[in-house]
Chains A and B, each alone.
Chain A
Amino acid sequence: MLPRKLIKTKIRAELKNKKSFLQVRDDLQSQKTTVRSITANYIKSIHDNKDLNIFIEVFENEAINRANEIDEKIKSKTQGKLAGMIIAIKDNLCYENHLVTASSKILKGFKSNYSATAIERLLKEDAIIIGRVNCDEFAMGSTNKNSVYGPPLNPLNKKMVTGGSSGGSAAAVAANLCMVSLGSDTGGSVRQPASFCGVFGFKPTYSRVSRYGLISYASSFDQIGVLSNSLFDNALVLEVISGHDHNDNTSSKKRVEPYSNFEKKPNYKIAFLKETLDLKALDSSIKKSTLDLIESLKSSGHQVETCSFPFLEYLVPTYYVLTTAEASSNLARYDGIRYGHRSSEAENLNDTFVKSRTEGFGQEVKRRIMLGTFVLSSEYQEAYYTKAQKIRSLIQKETNKIFENFDFIITPSTPRTAFEIDSETDDPTDLYIEDIFTVHANLSGNPAISVPLGKCKKNLPFGIQIQAKNFDEKKIFNFVNQFLTHNI
């Protein structure tokens, strides 16, 4: 083991906080630069990096026009708090008069006639939506290979996957093609690609951000999340998009705290789930860095205790039974009748449904619809869906119990680092194990972040996941900030 001092320095180097929006804001204020010039630079970078296959569409003219308007506002000091912030959105977020496809053939050419609440809130604070980025079809996947547009490439190593399903969102941030991106996280779809691409990925508490305008995958799991290079930017954007929305009946009425106002608090109590390090599939460098971090945390006075969580092996099966069940119903609306792909081969109503969906959906989406239809069927509902619901409540109870005694649970974000795009697996469900650490927070609903922690032998990044109890977003930000700026 390394001497304690050395561990600290090493980790702090990995956890370096990149330039934040604060700098941009100062530069705009002091007229060192303009929103227009920032926007133009990002647009150029996007074009220069077309080979990464991150952006599906760049809202070029519109972004420039808005940039001009916002520059005027800055002159008259009437700008919103995200003036100058360049944001990319996942292709499953609706933006009025813009195409949105969830990376699926079934929505090819579909234009949304309203905006998601999160998008409206960004626009209201003068953010610039620069374009929409690649993702797994209907947010189902952890490689971003399930996209009708093909996979985006990991900017840190173009042979590697970005992770998924918000692969484009993570890669766009990692490649500096935007400052912040929005993704969605149903089982880790923000945190896993954030880990693979070496950026911050935050999944807020379920109900914290309105889901209105987010194309549903699994309604009781889905949350819009934020990806960024800087912790501050992440907190600032989350602060803007959070809060109650009458269009989402499940959104919380709880007050939103000023996340970006980082505070230093005394030491925390941290739980470490011992089962997570026993996992066979866990990469050795991830294991080592995680243990080092724990040591480091302890040495800076935090109380870290090993905790048992016997439900680890049930997380993934429970997650897949419930999310596919909800997905099978949520995706029933793509029937070729009112919008989206309609088969030209169909000769009657039933044919229209069957053929349009068969042609329009990709393999993984079909697999999950079939699985979900099966677990909800009257014959099997009791054995699968109902049982999984019960396990979910147990997981929630057990998780809450841990949070009675601890501020945070830390685990690795992913069992391994990014793998090769060309690698094939015989059984597509092998990939489901990728989600083992992340699905937990979606099953129990609590907030979780993936923070870049280190790099493996292949020089690929990985993250550490920090979970807190429901609505403790601010506590997570405070703690991570302490990591980055103080002596842990």
Chain B
Amino acid sequence: MIKNNYTSVIGLEIHIQLSTKSKAYSADENIYGANPNTKISPISLAYPGTLPSVNTKLIEYALKLGISLECDINKKNIFSRKNYFYADLPKGYQITQDKNPICKGGHLLIDLEDGSKKKINLTRIHMEEDAGKSIHDIDPYNSLIDLNRAGVPLLEIVTEPEIRSSFEAQSFVNEIRKIVRYLDICNGNMEEGSLRCDANVSVMKENDKDFGTKVEIKNMNSTRNIKKAIDFEIDRQIELIEQGKFIVQETRNFNALTNATNSMRTKERADDYRYFTEPDLQPLILDEKYIQSIANDLPLLPNELERKFKKEFDLSSYDIKLLIEDKGISDYFQKICKIIKNYKLVANFVNGPIKSFLNTNSVPIDKLPIDRKKIIALLSFVDNKKISISSAQQIIFPKLLNSDLEVIEIIEKNNLFFENDSIDLEEIISKVLEKYTQKVIEYNEGKIGLIGLFMGEIMKITKGKIDPKKINTELKKELEKRKK
């Protein structure tokens, strides 16, 4: 983004906490929200004499992501130690990858504001482990440590500094989150810290060749905050430069209450992590066959699905975007479409009442309390013009949510079937038009919007038992007659 002739340069570091059953280098359970210090063992506590063993799921998940993002896969993986002292880092070092990450390069297409796409190149993806948590705000005198998270597997994605605005950064994180959920390797929950993002931000004059001094921003725990933090930081940096001041290379913390970034620590003296090859783990050699087997098992990703949906279902870009936001939803949609061929009807129903229920209750599609077979039954009644879509949405769907009744039972109990034969539609239309003679004249003089009034009246009388399309056709015929 160019602001007062400044260009912003942004690179992201995204930590993805993997949803493996056990930790990266021990058999401890990897689960969020357990009682403090219950998911631990001599290994994760770094007891004397313990050694790490690699969880093969860590490799599998890294490959899933790396292949999806079209990275170069490194076949000889060497683990390294990153040494530093901290109370919640039991070994005094983190097992990570230094010079030979499992994935190099790769890229991701993100959506821009104008609907076009932009390719962001990745530097690398590497495997590492999480530290525990230090809790400073419970006990007034002591810090408390919870080591449940110590050793939980992480992938770190590092982008090239090719992101140019807060919108692009937000879009990148949204896209990554969607992909890791599609791959089912991370729940993508930023509030719980399952997906964490740090941003390196600098600004430069439009025609400058060299990047400005970068500042690292941490603690942005939602995509909205990523946007806010970067916007704040860009403005702050431009203002400093305009005032003739220098940017200090530092790490800044984002405060969601003030929407501002504050200095955490300056980087005058770079940390020396004394990286060296982890001698407790042998190099991990990946063979081509294994890599290929992971590649063959990958699900279609959002970008591929978008193309597929356009081709197979002929839906609008807007509908497709909504459907592919979540893998559960897109799978669900496709399953229903195998039976109901009215794709637009299915898309509207999924993006409409179903999604609105899921959003209101913050539950995933597999927690929808209605059997998929019932939804299919319901939509086929609509598709076969036996009931109206409004009955389906407003009467039947809520009843399905709150009872065990079958679709047919609800329709019959509430008398919702179209009764095209037993009702004299012609007579009802005539009655209504007689009631509004003045309006009929106005309609025939060109106020065609009045048709809604007539429709509404007729629908009220027919109680949704006649297909609105049929009413519409008959009504227009009748109005045409009265023109003469």
Give the interface of A toward B (CB within 8 A). Answer: 92-94, 100, 102, 107, 110, 112-114, 116, 211-216, 218-220, 246-250, 325-326, 328-329, 331-333, 335, 337-339, 349, 352-353, 373, 376-378, 381, 385
Contact A249–B276 (Cβ < 8 Å): no
Contact A249–B281 (Cβ < 8 Å): yes
Task: Report, nearest first, the 8 A-B pairs whose CB atoms are least far apart.
Answer: A332-B92, A219-B279, A376-B274, A220-B279, A333-B46, A213-B49, A94-B49, A215-B48
Which of B50-58, B117-125, B152-160, B247-255 is the contact stretch? B50-58
In residues 41-81 of chain B, which contact A (Cβ within 8 Å)?
42, 45-54, 81
Assembly CA distance A113 to B112 (angstroms):
56
Contact of B313 with A by CB under 8 A: no
Contact A381–B274 (Cβ < 8 Å): yes
Contact B280–A250 (Cβ < 8 Å): yes
Contact of B282 with A by CB under 8 A: yes
CB B392 to nearest CB in A, in angstroms, measures 57
Contact A248–B92 (Cβ < 8 Å): no
Contact B282–A249 (Cβ < 8 Å): yes
Which chain B residues border A211 with CB–CB below 8 Å? Answer: 49, 51
Among candidates A214, A249, A338, residue contacting B49 with C-beta atoms closer than 8 Å: A214
Which of A246, A329, A352 has the most chain B CB atoms inside 10 A of its CB? A329
Contact of B290 with A by CB under 8 A: no
CB A263 to nearest CB in B, in angstroms, measures 32
Which chain A residues border B126 with CB–CB below 8 Å? Answer: none
Residue-wise interface mask of B (79-90) relative to A, using a CB-CB cutoff of 8 A (1 in contact, 0 not): 001010101001
With A112-B48, A213-B49, A373-B274: A333-B279 Cβ-Cβ less than 8 Å = no
Interface size on B, residues (CB 8 A): 28
- Return 5 A-B CB contacts under 8 Å, by A number: A102-B48, A113-B42, A247-B53, A249-B54, A332-B92
Q: With A93-B49, A216-B280, A247-B53 given, can you name 19 additional A-B contacts, CB distance below 8 Å?
A: A92-B49, A94-B49, A113-B47, A114-B50, A116-B49, A213-B49, A218-B279, A220-B279, A248-B51, A249-B51, A249-B52, A249-B281, A250-B280, A250-B282, A329-B92, A332-B91, A333-B90, A338-B90, A349-B143
Which chain A residues border B349 with CB–CB below 8 Å? Answer: none
Contact B49–A216 (Cβ < 8 Å): yes
**Which residue of B has the minimal Cβ distance to A331?**
B92
Assembly CA distance A338 to B83 (angstroms):
18
Contact B90–A329 (Cβ < 8 Å): no
CB B360 to nearest CB in A, in angstroms, measures 45
**Which residue of A has the minimal Cβ distance to B54?**
A249
Contact A250–B281 (Cβ < 8 Å): yes
Which chain B residues border A373 with CB–CB below 8 Å? Answer: 274
Contact B93–A332 (Cβ < 8 Å): yes
Assembly CA distance A326 to B81 (angstroms):
10
Among candidates B48, B52, B91, B274, residue contacting A94 with C-beta atoms closer than 8 Å: B48
Which chain A residues border B145 with CB–CB below 8 Å? Answer: 337
Contact of B272 with A by CB under 8 A: yes
Contact A114–B52 (Cβ < 8 Å): no
Per DSSP, chain B at the interface is loop
Which chain A residues border B90 with CB–CB below 8 Å? Answer: 333, 337-338
CB B84 to nearest CB in A, in angstroms, measures 9
Assembly CA distance A107 to B47 (angstroms):
11
Assembly CA distance A102 to B48 (angstroms):
9
In residues 6-59 of chain B, which contact A (Cβ within 8 Å)?
42, 45-54
Which chain A residues border B272 with CB–CB below 8 Å? Answer: 377-378
**Which residue of B has the minimal Cβ distance to A349?**
B87
Among candidates B53, B81, B282, residue contacting A329 with C-beta atoms closer than 8 Å: B81
Contact B46–A338 (Cβ < 8 Å): yes
Among candidates B49, B53, B83, residue contacting A112 with C-beta atoms closer than 8 Å: B49
**Which residue of A has the minimal Cβ distance to B40?**
A338
**Which residue of B has the minimal Cβ distance to A138?**
B48
CB A444 to nearest CB in B, in angstroms, measures 15
In residues 306-320 of chain B, which contact A (Cβ within 8 Å)?
none
Contact A112–B47 (Cβ < 8 Å): yes
Per DSSP, chain A at the interface is loop
CB B25 to nearest CB in A, in angstroms, measures 9
Contact B83–A332 (Cβ < 8 Å): yes
Which chain A residues border B276 with CB–CB below 8 Å? Answer: 325-326, 329, 376, 381, 385
Which chain A residues border B91 with CB–CB below 8 Å? Answer: 332-333
In residues 122-158 of chain B, which contact A (Cβ within 8 Å)?
143, 145
Which chain B residues border A107 with CB–CB below 8 Å? Answer: 48
Which chain B residues border A333 with CB–CB below 8 Å? Answer: 46, 48, 90-92
Which chain A residues border B92 with CB–CB below 8 Å? Answer: 329, 331-333, 335
Contact B274–A353 (Cβ < 8 Å): no
Assembly CA distance A328 to B83 (angstroms):
9
Contact B87–A249 (Cβ < 8 Å): no
Residue-wise interface mask of B (257-279) relative to A, using a CB-CB cutoff of 8 A (1 in contact, 0 not): 00000000000000010101001
**Which residue of A has the minimal Cβ distance to B48?**
A215
Which chain B residues border A94 with CB–CB below 8 Å? Answer: 47-49
Contact B85–A335 (Cβ < 8 Å): yes
Assembly CA distance A376 to B143 (angstroms):
31
**Which residue of A has the minimal Cβ distance to B147?**
A338
Assembly CA distance A248 to B145 (angstroms):
28
Contact B93–A329 (Cβ < 8 Å): yes
Among candidates B45, B274, B280, residue contacting A338 with C-beta atoms closer than 8 Å: B45
CB B415 to nearest CB in A, in angstroms, measures 67
Contact B280–A249 (Cβ < 8 Å): yes
Assembly CA distance A378 to B275 (angstroms):
8
**Which residue of A has the minimal Cβ distance to B50?**
A212
Assembly CA distance A331 to B42 (angstroms):
16
**Which residue of A has the minimal Cβ distance to B42?**
A114
Which chain B residues border A331 with CB–CB below 8 Å? Answer: 92
Assembly CA distance A246 to B276 (angstroms):
24
Which of A102, A250, A377 has the most chain B CB atoms inside 10 A of its CB? A250
Assembly CA distance A371 to B281 (angstroms):
23
Assembly CA distance A399 to B162 (angstroms):
50
With A353-B85, A373-B274: A339-B47 Cβ-Cβ less than 8 Å = yes
Contact B87–A100 (Cβ < 8 Å): no
Which chain A residues border B280 with CB–CB below 8 Å? Answer: 216, 219, 249-250
Which chain A residues border B53 with CB–CB below 8 Å? Answer: 246-247, 249
CB A485 to nearest CB in B, in angstroms, measures 38
Assembly CA distance A353 to B92 (angstroms):
11
CB B287 to nearest CB in A, in angstroms, measures 17
Assembly CA distance A248 to B276 (angstroms):
19
CB A132 to nearest CB in B, in angstroms, measures 13
**Which residue of B has the minimal Cβ distance to A378?**
B272
Assembly CA distance A325 to B48 (angstroms):
18
Assembly CA distance A326 to B274 (angstroms):
11
Residue-wise interface mask of B (148-178) relative to A, using a CB-CB cutoff of 8 A (1 in contact, 0 not): 0000000000000000000000000000000
CB A473 to nearest CB in B, in angstroms, measures 21
Which chain A residues border B83 with CB–CB below 8 Å? Answer: 328-329, 332, 376
Assembly CA distance A216 to B52 (angstroms):
12
In residues 278-298 of chain B, which contact A (Cβ within 8 Å)?
279-282
Assembly CA distance A110 to B49 (angstroms):
13
Which chain B residues border A212 with CB–CB below 8 Å? Answer: 49-51
Which chain B residues border A250 with CB–CB below 8 Å? Answer: 51, 279-282
Which chain B residues border A214 with CB–CB below 8 Å? Answer: 49
CB A282 to nearest CB in B, in angstroms, measures 32
Which chain B residues border A249 with CB–CB below 8 Å? Answer: 51-54, 280-282
Which chain B residues border A112 with CB–CB below 8 Å? Answer: 47-49
**Which residue of B has the minimal Cβ distance to A333?**
B46
CB B283 to nearest CB in A, in angstroms, measures 10
Assembly CA distance A113 to B46 (angstroms):
12
Which chain B residues border A337 with CB–CB below 8 Å? Answer: 87, 90, 145
Assembly CA distance A335 to B81 (angstroms):
17
CB A365 to nearest CB in B, in angstroms, measures 14
**Which residue of B has the minimal Cβ distance to A219?**
B279
Which of A93, A116, A328 has the most chain B CB atoms inside 10 A of its CB? A328
Assembly CA distance A204 to B54 (angstroms):
25
